[in-house]
Amino acid sequence: MASTYTPLGIELQATGENAGTWGTKTNTNLQIIEQVSGGFTQQAVSDSGDTDLSVSDGSTGATLSHRVIEFTGTLTGARNVTIPLDVQNFYILKNATSGSQVVTFKYDTGTGTSAAIPNGKTVIAYAKADDGTNPNITMQQFGGDVVDDTSPQLGGNLDTNSFMIDFDDAHGIRDENGAEQLIFETTSSAVNHIDITNAATGAGAQIGAVGDDTNISLRLRPKATGNIEVMGATNPGTVQLNCESNSHGIQLQSPPHSAAQSYTIKFPTSNITAGTFLKVDSITGSGATAVGQLTFDSSPATTGKAIAMAIVFG
């Protein structure tokens, strides 16, 4: 009975075969096994068509019979590298081609799954030979960029490890429903930015303006006719204007909810001078539920009203 060969080219010597050459053939088999278990080789891939990896029965050197295969060459389009239907093995494959093209590792016929290897990436490909007509290849990528995963998920907290997260202009963070929650706008020459600091017990969290400039304003911007609102909680909405040491300050506070008050304070359109007072400009309704508008006025005739309103407002 003549010798036979495995799909990877190892010679299976029949009993009584190869007298005088059995040792040489055995050594060749061991070399093929060494290639399969840990050998490295490169395979050029070209634009001319698919690259077919074939078995080399009873001899070493076949690309097919190496554990690690690095694909090389310059491509202008995606290309296939194929293997015979009966090959069962796992490979470490790297797409080292130029041209930013995908190389797909697949069986030479059939409709089974294949391994599409992005340019510059390394994968493990399991060639299963699990079907005589449509065998499958399963791929697992090593250390791929997140861009290679169209729906990445974290299995734990993301630690930036002293690096940054870079956002493109008009991009940011969305909620679980896909709605924008925090969007960043970029300035190409930016030197100033916002700093957010959490706080220990008894202190408030802080949003501040920081950067290269010595004096930096912190700007809040509503949209269209929207307002900048200071929300209430246990107390009515309050703005505190601190001293430069932040040890004490003056508070501007809304009336409580029970007062049901809604009015507007408008500043004058010209410079305020001595003798300018706060006055009632208009009132709708009466009593505790009256809704009015307050303005500044420099007329002495409104002095009494201004003092009374100033006391209520304060």
- Please check the confidence at residue 92 and state whether its pLDDT lies above 90: yes
Kind of pairing between the strands at 180-184 and 171-174: antiparallel
Q: What is the pLDDT of residues 99-147, one digit of tens each?
A: 999 999 999 999 999 999 999 999 999 999 999 999 999 999 876 566 6
Single-letter amino acid, residue 169: D
Q: What is the pLDDT of residues 135-161, one digit of tens each?
A: 999 999 876 566 666 677 788 898 998
Residues 181 and 175 sit within 8 Å (Cβ to Cβ): yes
Give me the residue spans of the domains in the chain: 4-148, 257-313
Using a 10 angstrom Cβ sphere, with 0-12 exposed, 13-18 middle and 19 or more buried, the burial of residue 122 is: middle
Phi–psi pair at 27, nearest 5 degrees: -65, -40
**pLDDT for residue 39:** 96
- Residue 2 banded pLDDT, cuts 50, 70, 90: confident
Q: What is the pLDDT of residues 11-46, one digit of tens each?
A: 999 988 888 898 999 999 999 999 999 999 999 999
> The tokens of 40 are what?
């490295």
Q: What is the pLDDT of residues 254-311, one digit of tens each?
A: 989 998 888 777 777 777 777 666 676 766 666 655 666 667 666 555 444 443 333 3
Please state, in angstroms and rounded to a whole number, the distance separating the CA atoms of residues 292 and 210: 39
Q: Burial code of 162-192, b = ≥16 C-beta within 10 A, e = fewer? A: eeeeeeeeeeeeeeeeeeeeeeeeeeeeeee
What DSSP designation does 208 have?
E
Answer yes or no: pTM beyond 0.75.
Answer: no
**pLDDT for residue 154:** 80
Q: What is the pLDDT of residues 172-223, one digit of tens each?
A: 999 999 999 999 999 999 999 999 999 999 999 999 999 999 999 999 999 9
